C-alpha cells in the first residue's frame, strides 16, 4: 500500500492541514505513486472564479494501466474480481489481475473493431455481471467515454441519455437477473433504440439466455466478437483532463444532467479516498460494496478505487432479499468479507425482516462497515452496529455525490472517532463551508447551514455534458465562488459534520436521486392531468417516499384506475424507482399570487404535519389548503 496512507488521527490532522496549505505539494506527492506516461506541468491550476480548474495538467496516462497493468508484475495472481451470482447456487466467477487484464484488453479490441475511437461515447445498459465492469474498463482502455445507465431505468430514460451524449455503441445483456425476476434489458434497449439514430452497433452479452431479437447489421453477440478478439491492446494515451465518463443524475430542474468526470484527478481521488476511508490493511482483507455500477458508488468504489489499490473487489448480481433477507449475511460468511459497504435503505429493509436471519449468520469476518447514499437514522445505525458489526466494527458513514467523484466527508476506519449518523470530518483536500441563505459563511460550531466546498479538489466533476452553463448555474450559481452541494448540514460542538438532507427539490428515494420536476413532467404528459406537484416525505424503509398531488381534468374518471395509470406512466417514462408512493387527487394547488407552488405546505401535509403549515395568507386561494389537508386524511 501507498506511503500516503494515513494510519492515525495525528497523521490525518497533518495531512488535512497540508492538503489545504500546499495542495500542489500534497497532491503532487500522492500522484507520484501512480503510473504516468508523462508527468504533469502543474498539479492544481485554475479555480472556481472562472471554473477552469484542472488537475495534473500536462500529464498523460491511462487509468486502466493503473488499475491493471501496474499490478501485473507485483501480483498477477491476486484476485481482482469476485463475482457472486443472483442464484446462491450459481457459479461464483473469479478473475485474477492477469485474467481481468486479458478480458479488458479483449473487450477493448472488440469495441475498437466496431469503430469506436477515443472520445466516442459508449452506453452500457447492463445488469451486474463481470462484463459490465470489464466494459467500463475496456472503454477507458481505448479512451472511449463510458456512460453507464442503471438497468432499472425505462426505455425512455435510456433513450434520453443515449441521445443527450450521442452514444455510438450500446452494450447490454439479453436479460438481467434481479431476485426472482428477469429484467428484459435487450427488449427495453430495442424500444429505446427506435429513437436513437446515433447508435451504430449493439453488443449483447448473454446472461439469462432469454429469447431476444437480433437486428442484423446492428446487433452482435458478445461471445461471437469476444472469441476472435486479440488480448493485446495497448492503452490509449489520455491527457489529464480528457473525459473518462459521463454519469447522468437528477437535479431539481429539467432533465437529468450528464455529469462529466475526467481522467487524472478522478483517478487520484478514487484511490486516495478508497484507501484512507476503508483501510484494507491485511493482504487477506476482502471488500464488498453492494451498490450497482449504474450509480457513482459502483464506479468509484466497486471499479476504480479498489482496482487502483490492487485489492479484490466483490460484485453481487442480485438483491438483498433473494432468496431471503439473509442473503447479504450469507454472502459475508460465504466469502469471509471483511469490509462491507452498503446503503441505509438496505439496512432499514433488512432490519424490518426476520431477525433470526441476521442472528444465525456468523459475521465474525467483518472488520469495517460503511454506508452511503442518504442520511442514516439512529435506529438503523444502532442496528447495523449491534447486529451486523457486533459492536466491534467502525461504521464509516461516507457523504459524497455523483459530482464529487469520491468520498468527501467520512470517518477513516479505526482512525476517526465515529458518532451515530455523523459523516464526521472532511477528507484531506476538502474545504467545507456552511453558509446561510444569503451566502454568508457561518463560523464556529453548533451551527447549521447549506453545505458548500470552497476550493477545487481533484475528483470533482468538470462540467455537464453539452451544457457548461447549466453546470455553472447548478453548482456555482447559488453562492459565488463556492461549489454548492444542495445538502443541508450541521456542525456539532466537536466540529463534526452531520448531513441533514437535500435542501432543494431533489428527493432521495432509497439512496436514488430523483428530481421532483422529472416526476411532475412525466405525470403531466397524461391526457387527464392538468397539473402535478411532487414532494418527498419521510418513509420508513426508503428514507423518502414520493407524494404526488394531481389535478385531474375529468374528475368523473374512476380514481383507482387513474392512480394505476399514473404509476404506470412514471414507470414508463422514468422507471419503477420513481413511482409515487402516494397520490392525492386535488382540485387546486397552493400557489402564491405570482403563481409559484408553495411546496413547503405540500411537504408538511405529506409529512402528516398539517398543524404547522405556517403563514398561508399570501396564497392566491387559501381554501385549497383546507381541502388538501382534509383529503390527505
Binding site for ligand WTA (CB under 6 A): 249, 295-297, 372-375, 397-402, 423, 485-487, 499, 502, 508, 513
Cα–Cα nearest to 496, from 413, 543, 432, 436: 432
Report the nearest approach of ligand WTA to the CB of residue 447 (Å): 18
> How far are the Cα atoms of 62, 203, 221 from residue 217, in angstroms, in the given order?
32, 11, 11
Structure-block grid coordinates of residue 447: 451551527
State which residue, 243 or 344, has the beta carbon closest to ligand WTA: 344
State which residue, 105 or 574, has the beta carbon closest to ligand WTA: 574
For residue 439, what are the β-bridge partners? none
Report the nearest approach of ligand WTA to the CB of residue 291 (Å): 8
The rounded distance, in Å, linking the Cα atoms of 6 and 20 is 16
Q: Which residues contact 367 (CB under 8 A, 6 or more apart)?
A: 285, 338, 339, 393, 413
Report the nearest approach of ligand WTA to the CB of residue 250 (Å): 9
Report the nearest approach of ligand WTA to the CB of residue 397 (Å): 5
Report the nearest approach of ligand WTA to the CB of residue 243 (Å): 18
Report the nearest approach of ligand WTA to the CB of residue 498 (Å): 8
Report phi then psi at 516, rounded to 5. -60, -35
State which residue, 60 or 467, has the beta carbon closest to ligand WTA: 467
E strands, 335-417, where?
A: 339-342, 368-372, 395-398
State which residue, 272 or 399, has the beta carbon closest to ligand WTA: 399
The rounded distance, in Å, linking the Cα atoms of 112 and 570 is 37
Report the nearest approach of ligand WTA to the CB of residue 485 (Å): 6
State which residue, 96 or 157, has the beta carbon closest to ligand WTA: 157
How would you class 294 by CB atoms within 10 Å of its CB: exposed for 0-12, middle for 13-18, buried for 19 or more? buried
Structure-block grid coordinates of residue 122: 459508449
> How far are the Cα atoms of 520, 561, 568, 584, 624 from residue 554, in angstroms, in the given order?
18, 13, 19, 15, 18
Q: Are 23 and 29 in contact (CB under 8 A)?
A: no
The rounded distance, in Å, linking the Cα atoms of 102 and 182 is 29
Report the nearest approach of ligand WTA to the CB of residue 401 (Å): 4
Report the nearest approach of ligand WTA to the CB of residue 168 (Å): 26
Cα–Cα nearest to 478, from 507, 512, 449: 449
State which residue, 196 or 380, has the beta carbon closest to ligand WTA: 380
Report the nearest approach of ligand WTA to the CB of residue 394 (Å): 14
Q: Rounded to 10 degrees, what is the CA torsion of 94, 297, 459, 492?
A: -130
State which residue, 26 or 295, has the beta carbon closest to ligand WTA: 295
Report phi then psi at 488, rounded to 5. -95, 155
How many residues are listed for the chain in this entry? 633
SS3 506: strand
State which residue, 85 or 160, has the beta carbon closest to ligand WTA: 160
Q: Which residues contact 34 (CB under 8 A, 6 or more apart)?
A: 61, 66, 70, 267, 268, 271, 308
State which residue, 375 or 515, has the beta carbon closest to ligand WTA: 375
Report the nearest approach of ligand WTA to the CB of residue 508 (Å): 5
Q: What is the DSSP letter of 424?
A: B
State which residue, 190 or 397, has the beta carbon closest to ligand WTA: 397
State which residue, 208 or 402, has the beta carbon closest to ligand WTA: 402
> How far are the Cα atoms of 490, 523, 541 from residue 377, in angstroms, in the given order?
15, 31, 11
User: Could you tell me how far CA 353 lies from the centroid of its own chain?
Assistant: 26
State which residue, 108 or 395, has the beta carbon closest to ligand WTA: 395
Report the nearest approach of ligand WTA to the CB of residue 47 (Å): 23
Amino acid at each position: 500500500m501507498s506511503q500516503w496512507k494515513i494510519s492515525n488521527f495525528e497523521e490525518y490532522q497533518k495531512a488535512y492541514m497540508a492538503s489545504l496549505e500546499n495542495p500542489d505539494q500534497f497532491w503532487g506527492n500522492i500522484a507520484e505513486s501512480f503510473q504516468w506516461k508523462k508527468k504533469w506541468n502543474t498539479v492544481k491550476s485554475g479555480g472556481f472564479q472562472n471554473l477552469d480548474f484542472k488537475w495534473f495538467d500536462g500529464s498523460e496516462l491511462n487509468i486502466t494501466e493503473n488499475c491493471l497493468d501496474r499490478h501485473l508484475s507485483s501480483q498477477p495472481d491476486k484476485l481482482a474480481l469476485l463475482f457472486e451470482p443472483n442464484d446462491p447456487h450459481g457459479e461464483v466467477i473469479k478473475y485474477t489481475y492477469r485474467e481481468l487484464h486479458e478480458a479488458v484488453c479483449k473487450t477493448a479490441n472488440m469495441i475498437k473493431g466496431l469503430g469506436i475511437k477515443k472520445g466516442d461515447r459508449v452506453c452500457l445498459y447492463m445488469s451486474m455481471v463481470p462484463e459490465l465492469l470489464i466494459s467500463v474498463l475496456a472503454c477507458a482502455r481505448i479512451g472511449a467515454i463510458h456512460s453507464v445507465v442503471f438497468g432499472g431505468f425505462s426505455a425512455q430514460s435510456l433513450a434520453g441519455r443515449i441521445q443527450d451524449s450521442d452514444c455510438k455503441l450500446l452494450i447490454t445483456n439479453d436479460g438481467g437477473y434481479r431476485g426472482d425476476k428477469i429484467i428484459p434489458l435487450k427488449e427495453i434497449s430495442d424500444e429505446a433504440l427506435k429513437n436513437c439514430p446515433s447508435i451504430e452497433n449493439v453488443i449483447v452479452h448473454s446472461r439469462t439466455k432469454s429469447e431476444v431479437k437480433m437486428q442484423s447489421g446492428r446487433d452482435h453477440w458478445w461471445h461471437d466478437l469476444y472469441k476472435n478478439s486479440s488480448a493485446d491492446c495497448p492503452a490509449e494515451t489520455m491527457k489529464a483532463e480528457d473525459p473518462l465518463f459521463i454519469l447522468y443524475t437528477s437535479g431539481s430542474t429539467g432533465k437529468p444532467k450528464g455529469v462529466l468526470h475526467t481522467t487524472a484527478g478522478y483517478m487520484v481521488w478514487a484511490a486516495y479516498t478508497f484507501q484512507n476511508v476503508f483501510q484494507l490493511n491485511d493482504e487477506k482483507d476482502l471488500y464488498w460494496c453492494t451498490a450497482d455500477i449504474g450509480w457513482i458508488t459502483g464506479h468509484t468504489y466497486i471499479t476504480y478505487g479498489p482496482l487502483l489499490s490492487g485489492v479484490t473487489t466483490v460484485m453481487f448480481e442480485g438483491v438483498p432479499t433473494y432468496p431471503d433477507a439473509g442473503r447479504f449475511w450469507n454472502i459475508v460468511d460465504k466469502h469471509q468479507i471483511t469490509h462491507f459497504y452498503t446503503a441505509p435503505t438496505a439496512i432499514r429493509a433488512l432490519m424490518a425482516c426476520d431477525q433470526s436471519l441476521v442472528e444465525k449468520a456468523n459475521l465474525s469476518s467483518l472488520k469495517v462497515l460503511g454506508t452511503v447514499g442518504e442520511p442514516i437514522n439512529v435506529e438503523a445505525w444502532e442496528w447495523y452496529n449491534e447486529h451486523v458489526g457486533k459492536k466491534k466494527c467502525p461504521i464509516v458513514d461516507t457523504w459524497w455525490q455523483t459530482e464529487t467523484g469520491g468520498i468527501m466527508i467520512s470517518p477513516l476506519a479505526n482512525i476517526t472517532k465515529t458518532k451515530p449518523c455523523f459523516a464526521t470530518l472532511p477528507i484531506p483536500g476538502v474545504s467545507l463551508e456552511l453558509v446561510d441563505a444569503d451566502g454568508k459563511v457561518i463560523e464556529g460550531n453548533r451551527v447549521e447551514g447549506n453545505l458548500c466546498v470552497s476550493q477545487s479538489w481533484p475528483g470533482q466533476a468538470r462540467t455537464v455534458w453539452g451544457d457548461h452553463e447549466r453546470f455553472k448555474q447548478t453548482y456555482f450559481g447559488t453562492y459565488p465562488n463556492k461549489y454548492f452541494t444542495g445538502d443541508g448540514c450541521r456542525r456539532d460542538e466537536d466540529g463534526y459534520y452531520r448531513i441533514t438532507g437535500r435542501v432543494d427539490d431533489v428527493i432521495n428515494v432509497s439512496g436514488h436521486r430523483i428530481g421532483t420536476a422529472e416526476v411532475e413532467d412525466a405525470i403531466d404528459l397524461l391526457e387527464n392531468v392538468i397539473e402535478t406537484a411532487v414532494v418527498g416525505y419521510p418513509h420508513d424503509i426508503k428514507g423518502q417516499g414520493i407524494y404526488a398531488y394531481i389535478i385531474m381534468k375529468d374528475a368523473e374518471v374512476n380514481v383507482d384506475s387513474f392512480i394505476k395509470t399514473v404509476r404506470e406512466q412514471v414507470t414508463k417514462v422514468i422507471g419503477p424507482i420513481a413511482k409515487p408512493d402516494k397520490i392525492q387527487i386535488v382540485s387546486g394547488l397552493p400557489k402564491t399570487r405570482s403563481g409559484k407552488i408553495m411546496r413547503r405546505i405540500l411537504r408538511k401535509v405529506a409529512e402528516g404535519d398539517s398543524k404547522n403549515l405556517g403563514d398561508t395568507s399570501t396564497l392566491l386561494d387559501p381554501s385549497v389548503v383546507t381541502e388538501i389537508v382534509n383529503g390527505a386524511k
